[in-house]
């Protein structure tokens, strides 16, 4: 599971934030330097020498900054815009420290001003919605002035060290407010997606009463297995949960007389059943936010030995989360009553899944299943108790 609609939107906003930052970095930075080195000494402070101070990197600084544009374009095309701000920050601080040390250690010039680019880094860091980047900015800018103060021992360096904590506090307040707004939007978005998914599942369960609750149980079992791996983020787990809920959505296209048939399916009927993964994918592939569900919906009936459907994928050709769903789906199907048979015991279902290791199921996933099996059993007991309690209360109401 990778990026859903919200992550794509965040990526687009990151690109826009980078473009705004670069516009301000070059526009304000070059304008400030032109004013400070040429206009200010000529018309305001005649004591300063006109032009870029000699003895430092000189115009080399601007050559480096312009060269960074090439790096920015490359990273943007590689869909890695988040790296751009770090490249600019580290490069700026390094070049700035080297230049200031060379200029001020080799002359009697008094250090009396910081660069506007540093103010830009601090005040505009919240637009990237990244606390790691924010603290990196604060740490590097502070480290720069500590190094310069220790090396140059000029009182003019004390003012920036006193001023930047104030600017940082203002910036941090804005960052937290932005986080709050984005969190509210994310929660609202997730709630809407979950409502859509559960509405679709409810429609499917109206067609086949025997599968009522099947999607929820498969989702629960699948998450037990996936979480055991401890390698997926919370957002990836949420996307996988939606995928599991939707794994059988294609069955809405299967005629009722086939879904609820109380006897063995004919070959023709079985072939119709086998169309439901492809139908399911076609139903959701154009719905924003559900694209991450496609691989699970399409491939949860593939077999490790390549004899599954619809694509006949074999072994590791099958998406890993689809392999997990296959085990969860099979376990719930076996332990649930269907129109053509009674439910199997959990022990019998366990035995059959273990026997399917290396043929129907991925051996690694079966090992995960063995490890979490007690949790499967506990959940089945809780579900059975809940259903019994519901049936008793329903009987009392109708009695």
pLDDT in tens, 368-385: 999 999 999 999 888 877
Cα torsion angle, 304, 307, 311, 313, sign: positive
State the CATH architecture for 208-398: Orthogonal Bundle (1.10)
Written as one string, the DSSP assignment of 327-377 is HHHHHHHHHS-BTTBPPPPHHHHHHHHHHTBTTTB-HHHHHHHHHHHHHHH
**How far, in Å, CA of 188 to CA of 185, rounded?**
5
pLDDT in tens, 35-66: 877 777 777 665 666 766 666 787 888 899 99
Higher-pLDDT residue of 97 and 185 is: 97
Instruction: Give the closest residue to 268 by CA, choosing from 279, 282, 281, 254.
Output: 254
pLDDT in tens, 138-161: 999 999 999 999 999 988 888 888
Read off the tokens for 82.
């988040």
Over range 238-260, report the average pLDDT: 88
Q: Please state, rounded to an integer, the average pLDDT across all residues of the chain.
A: 86
Instruction: Give the closest residue to 203 by CA, choosing from 322, 283, 300, 310.
Output: 283
Catalogue the long-range contacts made by 75-83 (C-beta closer than 8 Å, 24 or more residues apart): 76/15, 76/18, 79/11, 81/11, 81/14, 81/15, 81/18, 82/14, 82/128, 82/130
**How far, in Å, CA of 229 to CA of 286, rounded?**
30
């Amino acid at each position: 599971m990778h990026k859903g609609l919200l992550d794509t939107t965040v990526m687009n906003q990151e690109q826009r934030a980078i473009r705004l930052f670069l516009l301000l970095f070059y526009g304000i930075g070059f304008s400030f330097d032109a004013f400070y080195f040429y206009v200010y000494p000529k018309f305001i402070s005649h004591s300063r020498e006109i032009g870029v101070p000699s003895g430092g990197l000189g115009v080399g600084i601007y050559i480096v900054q312009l060269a960074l544009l090439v790096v920015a374009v490359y990273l943007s095309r590689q869909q890695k815009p988040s790296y751009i701000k770090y490249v600019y920050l580290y490069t700026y601080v390094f070049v700035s420290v080297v230049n200031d040390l060379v200029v001020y250690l080799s002359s009697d010039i008094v250090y009396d001003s910081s660069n506007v680019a540093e103010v830009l880094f601090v005040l505009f860091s919240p637009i990237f919605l990244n606390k790691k980047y924010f603290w990196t900015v604060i740490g590097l800018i502070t480290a720069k002035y500590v190094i310069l103060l220790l090396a140059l021992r000029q009182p003019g360096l004390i003012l920036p060290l006193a001023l930047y904590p104030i600017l940082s506090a203002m910036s941090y307040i804005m960052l937290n407010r932005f986080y709050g707004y984005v969190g509210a939007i994310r929660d609202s978005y997730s709630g809407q997606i979950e409502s859509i998914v559960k509405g679709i599942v409810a429609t499917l369960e109206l067609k086949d009463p025997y599968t009522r609750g099947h999607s929820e149980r498969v989702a629960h079992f699948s998450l037990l297995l996936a979480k055991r791996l401890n390698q997926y983020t919370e957002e990836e787990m949420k996307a996988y949960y939606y995928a599991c809920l939707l794994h059988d959505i294609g069955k809405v296209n299967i005629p009722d007389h086939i879904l609820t048939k109380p006897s063995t399916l004919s070959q023709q009927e079985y072939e119709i059943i086998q169309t439901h993964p492809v139908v399911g994918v076609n139903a959701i592939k154009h719905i924003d936010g559900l694209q991450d569900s496609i691989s699970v919906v399409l491939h949860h009936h593939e077999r490790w030995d390549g004899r599954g459907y619809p694509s006949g994928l074999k072994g590791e050709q099958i998406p890993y989360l689809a392999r997990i769903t296959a085990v969860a789906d099979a376990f719930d199907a076996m332990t649930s009553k269907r129109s053509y048979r009674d439910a199997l015991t959990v022990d019998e279902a366990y035995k059959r899944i273990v026997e399917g290791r290396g043929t129907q199921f991925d051996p690694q996933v079966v090992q995960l299943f063995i490890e979490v099996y007690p949790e499967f059993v506990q959940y089945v007991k809780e579900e059975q108790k809940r259903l019994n309690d519901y049936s008793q209360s329903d009987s009392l109401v109708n009695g």
